[in-house]
Amino acid sequence: MKSNLNNLTRINIQNLSPYQSARRIGGHGDTWLNANESPMSALFKCRVESFNRYPECQPNNLISAYADYVGLFRKEILVTRGADEGIELLIKAFCEPKKDAIIYCPPTYDMYAINAKIANVKIKEIPILKNTWKIDLFNLQASLDGVKLIYICNPNNPTGNIFSKKDLIILLQVTFNRCLVVIDEAYIEFSSKDSMVSYLKEFPNLIILRTLSKAFALAGIRCGFTLANEEIINILHKVISPYPISTVVTDIAIQALEKNEIKNMQNRVIKLNKNRVWLINKLKKNNFVKKIFDSHANYILVKFYMFKRVFQHLWEKGIIIRNQDHKINLQGCLRISIGSDKECLRLIEELKNLSKI
pLDDT tens column, 323-355: 999 999 999 999 999 999 999 999 999 999 998
Q: In the chain, which residues fall in CATH 3.90.1150.10?
A: 9-40+261-356
Cα angle for residues 207, 209, 212 (degrees, 5° grid): 155
Q: What's the confidence (pLDDT) of residue 177?
A: 95
Look at residue 3 and tell me whether its pLDDT is greater than 70.
no
* Phi, psi of 224, rounded to the nearest 5 degrees: -135, 180
Domain 9-40+261-356 CATH assignment equals 3.90.1150.10: yes
Sheet holding 322-323, edge to edge: 289-292, 299-304, 333-337, 322-323
CATH number for the region 60-260 comes to 3.40.640.10
Q: How far apart are CA 309 and CA 290, in angstroms?
A: 14
Dihedral, CA of residue 196, residue 197, residue 198 and residue 201, to nearest 10: 110
Q: In the chain, which residues fall in CATH 3.40.640.10?
A: 60-260
Q: What's the confidence (pLDDT) of residue 14?
A: 84
Q: What's the confidence (pLDDT) of residue 2?
A: 66
3 state SS of 108? coil
pLDDT tens column, 17-66: 876 766 667 677 789 999 999 999 989 999 999 999 999 999 999 999 99
Q: What's the confidence (pLDDT) of residue 13?
A: 82
Which of 179, 213, 180, 234 shows the shortest CA–CA distance to 58?
234
